[in-house]
Structures are given as structure tokens and as C-alpha cells.
Amino acid sequence: MTTQPTPCPDCARAEQNPDWGGYRAHCPECHARALAQSPAFFYSQNVRRLTHEYQGLLAACVDKDIAVAHERVKAWAERIQQTRQRKRAAQ
């Protein structure tokens, strides 16, 4: 287990509201959150494999391996989805 860096202000907001739409260019966690909502991730999930394009985006995002980055993206995607479902249910 590695030590988690202090979250950037946008990631701190996303902890409270995963559907938060702010991102910082040099924050690895922001990159994972942005990828969770990207067409590349969506397509990759649909075809049930890591597409070349998506792998390239994962590799560019952090200094960790692709499998770890993919797990972070999936975790954010799930949190964002749950948040949106709760919002819809509340309407």
C-alpha cells in the first residue's frame, strides 16, 4: 500500500460529490476521474477489453501500472454512477 497524496481541491470536492466536474491537469486522481467519464473507457467496457486507445490514456495518466489505474477509473465510474442514480431518484 502506498501513501495517498493530499487530494487536490477538485478531488477533495469529488470526495463529497463524485459527480463533481472540476479537474486539475497534473493530478493523477483527477485524470482517473476524467477517464471514468471518457468515451474511451465507455467503449472499452462495452467491448469488455482494454482497447489500445484506453490503454494509452491509462499509461499517460499515472506512474502506476495500467491495471492499478484501471481499477481506480472503475471505482470512480461506479461512484459517479451511484451519485447520478441517487440524484435521479430524488427528483
Residues at the site binding Zn ion, with contacts judged by CB under 5 A: 8, 10-11, 24, 27, 29-30
- Report the residue closest to Zn ion, judged by CB: 27
**Shortest gap between Cβ of 47 and Zn ion (angstroms)?**
28
Q: Are residues 80 and 32 in contact, defined by beta-carbon separation less than 8 angstroms?
A: no
Helices 9-16 & 28-36 angle (0-180, nearest 10) = 50
C-beta of 49: minimal distance to Zn ion in Å?
A: 28
Helix axes 28-36, 66-90, angle to 10 degrees: 60
Shortest distance, position 46 Cβ to Zn ion, whole Å: 27
Output 30 or 69, the one with its CB closest to Zn ion. 30
Our CB check for Zn ion shows the closer of 15 and 49 to be 15
Q: Name the helix (H) or strand (E) containing 45.
A: helix 39-46
Q: Backbone dihedral region of 60: left (phi > 0), alpha (psi from -120 to 50 degrees) or beta?
A: alpha
Q: Which is nearer to Zn ion, 62 or 66 (CB)?
A: 62
